[in-house]
Each structure stands twice: as structure tokens, then as C-alpha cells.
Amino acid sequence: MPLNKIHLATIGVALVAVVYLLFFSNISALEYRSEAADLIRKFAPLPSLDTTDYDRRLLVLSHVPLSTTTSPSAQVASSTKGRLWPVKTAYPKIGAILPFKRIVAYYGNFYSNRMGILGEYPDDELVVKLNAEKQRWEAADPTTSVLPAIQYIATVAQATAGKEGKYILRMPDEHIDRAIALAAKVNGIVILDIQVGLSTLQRELPMLEKYLAMPQVHLALDPEFSMKSGDKPGSVIGTFDAADINYAATYLARLVNEHQLPPKVLVIHRFTQNMVTNYQNIRPLPEVQIIMDMDGWGTQAKKIGTYKRVITPEPVQFTGLKIFYKNDLKAPSTGLLTTQQVLELMPAPSYIQYQ
């Protein structure tokens, strides 16, 4: 949020004091650094979250008419008593993406042209296409700017056991580096997608920590390929429990606090009830914003119906929707969901993913 005049004035006072310490006082370099840091903390408070705008945007996403007599915070608090949305959770730390922006992501893997759009086109074409989607969504909802994202499947479930017997393939660093560079070309973020197979989040997350500790890198979990049953990935639909999701959120929160990062986004894919169990125990944190993403494919009516069945009635915090450029057009489909159809969902998704 922009600094006001009082903040600018106090920063000016702090800078004058720091200059005095540096040039006119007889103190050591170590003492100078300590004194300067204390002065800046004292006279230049950090900007704060605009909670009024935050709550107002939650109401808009939930299609709640804005009252001219009641504050947005009071409306959010009162509306949750009689309806599922919006969800009242802890306010995020400063720098949160949602609900101030809508994330529009391109998904896939560079090894495969069947897993999503990222593997189908060269980088320059992807940039053009993603920027076009960004402009389309901003035209559909001019009140919300769009943040592009490159959502790269960093840990891929596979049909063969591999050396560890975990039925996964971890992507090489150069692929993740390429995803980060591609995101920079669209002034966007990176979301690393994990399919754990027969492994666990406890084992897989630390292997990506050097990337997750970056301010522009976020996380997505795919319960479909979390094989707690011991079956091979793809043979049955997998599952994550609230405890798994809370573990991932807590892991990310630690990185946010240790590295002084803006809040992370945590995306959870879902198209059946059993893919996510005990949803009511999922705990969004000030450091981590949780998105429940409906990622099933099919006709317009089927996708809307699935969203209403597995996303709307089980509120967590924010929501998302995946659009399949190819699978959503298979017969008897008559076309992809329009931006208007998506924005009319309850609640309107804050995250749109294209595969």
C-alpha cells in the first residue's frame, strides 16, 4: 500500500538521524549499524494491510451487496453467520496477493506436450499467449488486476517405481530455473506443483526449499496423485487430509518468517469430495493464503456442477478453477467456460489455471 504523508515525514526524520550518526558521531561501524537500524524501526513504521479494501473485495467475490451503512469488516463478520462465503480468517501479512489480484496461470511440464500448455509451445509463444489471457481477464473484471503465473510440475507422479520406489520423477534444477525465467518475462510468479506419488510432503518439500524460499515462488499440491493407499499413481484417485495441507502451510509460513517474504499462495487441486478430507480443519495463516482449485475437466455444465459440489459447500479461504484448452472441448462440449460464467460462480475464483 502507498505510504501516507506521515510515513514519509517520519522516514525523513530517520534518514537525517542516520546521516548524523554516520558523519558527525564518534561511534564504531558496528554501533552505527545497530543505532541506524533502531532509528529506522522507530521512525519509519512498515505500511499496513488495507483491511477495509481486503474485506470489501471478499464481499465482491462472494456476490454480497456492499452496504453503505455497514463497514466491510462488519459485513464479512455478519455474513459468515448466515452463509458460507466470504470466509472470515486471519488477515494476511502485508504483501498478500489475494484478494487484491487474480492469478492466471499456465500449467504443465517441459518434458511433455500432454501434461499442459507449458510443454506445447516455445517460451516466446507462451509469453504472448499468457499476456493475452491476462488482458482478457482484466477486461472481464476491470476492478481486479491480473498476476500471471507459471505453474510448473516439479515432482511428477509416474507409472514406474523408480530408484526409490516412490513412483515419482523430480525435475532437474535447470527446468525449474527455466520456469522462473519464464515467469520473469511476464512479470509474474512461479507455482511449483507437487505430485507425491508414494512419497510424502515431509520428504518432498525440503528438496524444493531453496526455490520456495524465493519471494516469487509459491506451491501447489495435487491430491489426485497422493497415493496413501499404496496403489500406483493413476490407478485410483489419491487424497490429502487437512493435516497434510496444514503441514505444507506451516512449512511455507516458516520460510516466510525466516526470510522476511511476502505471504505465500498454497493451491490445492480438487474435483472429488474424497480428494480432500476434513476440510473444516484446514487453517489458513497470515503467511499463507490457501486456494481450493476445482481442476476437473468436461462440459460447461459438468464443470459448474463440480465446482458447486466440491468447492462452494466446503469453504476454506479462496477458490480457483482449471480450464483445459483441449479436454474441456471434447464431445459433447460446446465450448470452454466463458469469463462471465466463471465470475458468476460462488464465490468468484481468485485463481484461474490453464492446462
pTM of the model: 0.85
Beta bridge partners of residue 269, listed in sequence order: 293
Q: What residue spans of 151-294 are helical by DSSP H? A: 173-185, 201-204, 209-212, 242-259
Task: Going residue by residue through the chain, which has 355 residues, state the pLDDT in tens, using 9 for 90 and above.
Answer: 444 444 555 555 445 544 444 455 555 544 545 565 555 555 556 678 999 999 999 999 999 988 777 788 888 877 766 789 999 999 999 999 999 999 999 999 999 888 889 999 999 999 999 999 999 999 999 999 999 999 999 999 999 999 899 999 999 999 999 999 999 999 999 999 999 999 999 999 999 999 999 999 999 999 999 999 999 998 999 999 999 999 999 999 999 999 999 999 999 999 999 999 999 999 999 999 999 999 999 999 999 999 999 999 999 999 999 999 999 889 998 899 999 999 999 999 999 999 9
The sign of the torsion formed by the CA atoms of 305, 310, 316, 319 equals negative
Which three three-digit cell numbers place residue 89? 480468517
CATH architecture of 89-354: Alpha-Beta Barrel (3.20)
How far apart CA 177 and CA 199 sit, in angstroms, is: 24
Look-up of cell digits 550518526:
21
Q: How far apart are CA 143 and CA 282, in angstroms?
A: 29
How many degrees, rounded to 5, is the angle at CA 147 between CA 220 and CA 181? Answer: 75
Cell of 45: 513504521
Distance linking the first and last C-alpha atoms of the chain: 33
Q: How many residues does the chain have?
A: 355
For the chain, domain boundaries: 5-43, 49-86, 89-354
